[in-house]
Amino acid sequence: MLNSLPYNRGAKTEYSYPFSKHADALNTVQRWFIEETRLGIPVDFTNEGIHGLTHDRATPLPAPINIGSTWNRKLIRQSAETIGRESKYLGYTNVYTPILDVSRDPRWGRVVKTYGENPYHIAELGKQVVLGIQQHGVASTLKHYAVYSIPKGGRDGNARTDPHVAPREMHTLHLYPFKRVIQEAHPMGVMSSHNDYDGVPVSGSRYFMHDLLRTTYGFNGYVVSDSDALEFISDKHKVVDSYPHAIKRALESGLDVRTTFTEPNDYLTPLMSIINNGELSEEMLNERVRAVLTTKFRLGLFDTPLQHNTQDADKMVHTAADEAMSMEMNRQSMVLLKNENNILPLDASKWKDILITGPLAEAERYTTSRYGPSNNPITTVKDGLSERATAEGMHVRYAKGVEIIDKNWPESEIIPYPLTAEEEAMMEEGVRLAQESDIIVAVMGESHLEVGESRSRSALDLPGRQREYLMRLKATGKPVIWNCWTRKWSGL
């Protein structure tokens, strides 16, 4: 299976490629595999899609934690149908979504990639995603199976091991969404996770990968590893003495497809060696291949491997209706924590001078993230609010006020450090402009550098000096609207 993982680059277009040309390109690749390889087996082109298809200028969606905040099954089904349709027209046949991890520790760096903390809620939304994508003949692959989202101390480091959760809690909370979505929506794929459980790597566990997944839940699709999860069996978890034995352990446990970023021969050569020396049976290999080929048959790849009418992709990807759906989902995903004296929406006749401040007011990167569309135009909070406020006759001021983190971060989350002269000057400028304004909009939070994949925090407060700056703004006596862009729950 080939995996396409473009990264977000903001509103830049130098890498853009017409949608129809991309469909043509995948047809060219597919034709080569069918016509030039010995068996002519078609390729399953995979992609990511947890908040929109990970493709240049595809329809963007909010982060999964925001998608969960909509509580809108119908809208989420509609968004999933968009992902499925765009995948189909662009030539992808398999999308790695939804994420069914249950988020219970706010320190964990990947909270932003989950629908929330409630297993029932996650299962309900996950069902809609699978049904919407597979409606278009594209496979939906669940992740990350299993017990991935509750690592000790909220750590999401390179090892990603050691979830501290009792068996009953594991089954009733963390495995509940997988069981329900598998049995009620019938996804074609499941991704196995990096972590272990009770000292046994999930990707090398016959219990998780076969007994529970296939026998108990009735799953009949294929299983793909998260990136390097197979390698972790030997080099992180160290439950076997070598990489060839990690391969043997994974395949005998039920892993069908291995994902990593190295050459295929790095996997195929040791695989062939353990088959040739009798350590792994050919029948076991056939069983693994059978799951992959069955999925390709279900996708219709042996009957219709090529995209027809590829020019239609230009009309069917990121349409005006998709844009409207995306905007509505973003609106419904926002959470209003408090609105004292009904200060929102802002009354232009009452507030003539507005200060926009904070480290994220001009930032673009936090509006996108990995595993989503790239190159879509971005409007920052400062630009969007300034345009609207100016049109309403308001006068807008701006001061950054503070950086997202200080130079001593992350040590400063535990050890206090004095303000530098530069930090003091930035805050003083912001406070001075706040005193000259009628109302303050403070745009604060975290970026992809503080919280995310392989990035967890020990504190729940705003990082860096942001809290201190916010308290100084509040001390001016002017009304403060705190616009918090956070990738997880904040303790403020």
Structure confidence at residue 490 (pLDDT): 62
Domain assignment of residue 256, yes or no: yes
Domain termination site, one of 254, 287, 316: 316
CA distance 253 to 407: 46
Domain count across the chain: 2
Structure confidence at residue 367 (pLDDT): 63
Read off the pLDDT of each residue in 402-416 and give the average, rounded to a whole number. 92
Amino acid at 227: S
When pLDDT is cut at 50, 70 and 90, the band that residue 4 belongs to is very low
The pLDDT of residue 261 is above 90: no
Domain assignment of residue 330, yes or no: no
The pLDDT of residue 104 is above 50: yes
The pLDDT of residue 43 is above 50: yes
Q: Are residues 350 and 253 part of one domain?
A: no
Read off the pLDDT of each residue in 478-485 and give the average, rounded to a whole number. 94
**Cis before 106 (ω within 30):** no
Q: Are residues 205 and 161 part of one domain?
A: yes
CA dist list (Å): 253 to 248, 287, 319 = 8, 11, 43
CA distance 313 to 85: 10
Q: Are residues 301 and 428 part of one domain?
A: no
Q: Are residues 172 and 288 part of one domain?
A: yes
Angle, CA of 95, 329 and 15, to the nearest 5°: 50
Q: Are residues 345 and 309 part of one domain?
A: no
Q: Are residues 272 and 355 part of one domain?
A: no
Q: Are residues 382 and 303 part of one domain?
A: no
The pLDDT of residue 90 is above 70: yes
Q: Give the number of other Cβ atoms within 10 Å of residue 381's Cβ.
A: 19
The pLDDT of residue 10 is above 70: no
Structure confidence at residue 15 (pLDDT): 55
The pLDDT of residue 323 is above 80: yes
Q: Are residues 74 and 167 part of one domain?
A: yes
Tens-place pLDDT, residues 269-310: 999 999 999 999 999 999 999 999 999 999 999 999 999 999
Q: Are residues 458 and 372 part of one domain?
A: yes
Structure confidence at residue 401 (pLDDT): 98
Domain assignment of residue 326, yes or no: no
Q: What CATH number is given to the structural domain containing 436?
A: 3.40.50.1700
- For every residue of 235-276, DSSP letters joined together read HTS-SSSSHHHHHHHHHHHT--B---SS-THHHHHHHHHHHH
Domain termination site, one of 316, 344, 365: 316
Q: Are residues 229 and 88 part of one domain?
A: yes
Domain assignment of residue 38, yes or no: yes
Domain assignment of residue 491, yes or no: no
Q: Comparing 101-110, 157-166, 403-412, 420-429, which segment has the lowest mean pLDDT?
A: 157-166
Read off the pLDDT of each residue in 25-53 and give the average, rounded to a whole number. 97
Structure confidence at residue 369 (pLDDT): 65
In the chain, helix, strand, coil percent, each to 5? Answer: 45, 15, 45
The pLDDT of residue 492 is above 90: no
**What's the mean pLDDT when you consider all of the chain?**
92
Q: What CATH number is given to the structural domain containing 186?
A: 3.20.20.300
Q: Are residues 345 and 266 part of one domain?
A: no
CA distance 36 to 121: 47
Structure confidence at residue 341 (pLDDT): 92
- Residue 29 belongs to what domain range? 2-316
Structure confidence at residue 6 (pLDDT): 35
Domain termination site, one of 316, 345, 371: 316
Read off the pLDDT of each residue in 200-211 and give the average, rounded to a whole number. 97
Domain assignment of residue 324, yes or no: no
Q: 101 vs 452, which has greater pLDDT?
A: 101
Read off the pLDDT of each residue in 22-29 and give the average, rounded to a whole number. 97
Single pTM value for the model: 0.93
Domain assignment of residue 293, yes or no: yes
Structure confidence at residue 9 (pLDDT): 39
Tens-place pLDDT, residues 461-481: 889 999 999 999 999 999 999
Structure confidence at residue 489 (pLDDT): 65
Backbone angles phi, psi at 482, to 5 degrees: -95, 110
The pLDDT of residue 366 is above 70: no
Give the whole-number percent of the chain exceeding pLDDT 70. Answer: 94
The pLDDT of residue 440 is above 80: yes
Q: Are residues 308 and 439 part of one domain?
A: no
Domain assignment of residue 393, yes or no: yes
Cβ atoms of residues 115 and 99 within 8 Å: yes
Structure confidence at residue 454 (pLDDT): 77
